[in-house]
């Protein structure tokens, strides 16, 4: 499962850094917790399998958004303008 998550994150263009290692551990735990909760819940009281998959993918994609948001916050528009002039 970890390799599948790595492949998806590679396809999303996420860097292989220490944050990713931590995120993968959390995602794996969330997959198992979701499965355990689904199995232990009375029918109709929890999300469907498809809903759980969508939720977990939303979390993964949200991490991608946070990565790019952080990168954009590090960009100084004045520096870009100066670099363009040289």
CA nearest neighbour of 9 among 24, 28, 29: 24
Q: Which uninterrupted H or E stretch holds 31?
A: helix 18-40
For tokens 């870009």, name the residue. Answer: 80
Burial-class residue 9 by CB neighbours within 10 Å (0-12, 13-18, 19+): buried
**Which of the 8 DSSP states describes residue 19?**
H
* Mean pLDDT of the chain, nearest integer: 78
5 and 56 Cβ atoms separated by less than 8 Å: no
With a threshold of 0.85, does the pTM exceed it? Answer: no
pLDDT tens track for 15-42: 888 778 888 888 889 888 888 888 888 8
Residue 76 has a pLDDT of: 61
């Amino acid at each position: 499962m970890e390799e599948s998550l790595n492949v998806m994150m590679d396809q999303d263009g996420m860097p292989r850094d220490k944050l990713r290692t931590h995120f993968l551990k959390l995602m794996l735990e969330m997959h198992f917790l979701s499965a355990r909760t689904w199995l232990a819940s009375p029918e109709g009281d929890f999300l469907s399998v498809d809903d759980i998959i969508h939720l977990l993918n939303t979390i993964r994609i949200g991490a991608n958004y946070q990565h790019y948001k952080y990168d954009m916050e590090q960009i100084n528009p004045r520096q870009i303008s100066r670099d363009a002039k040289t």
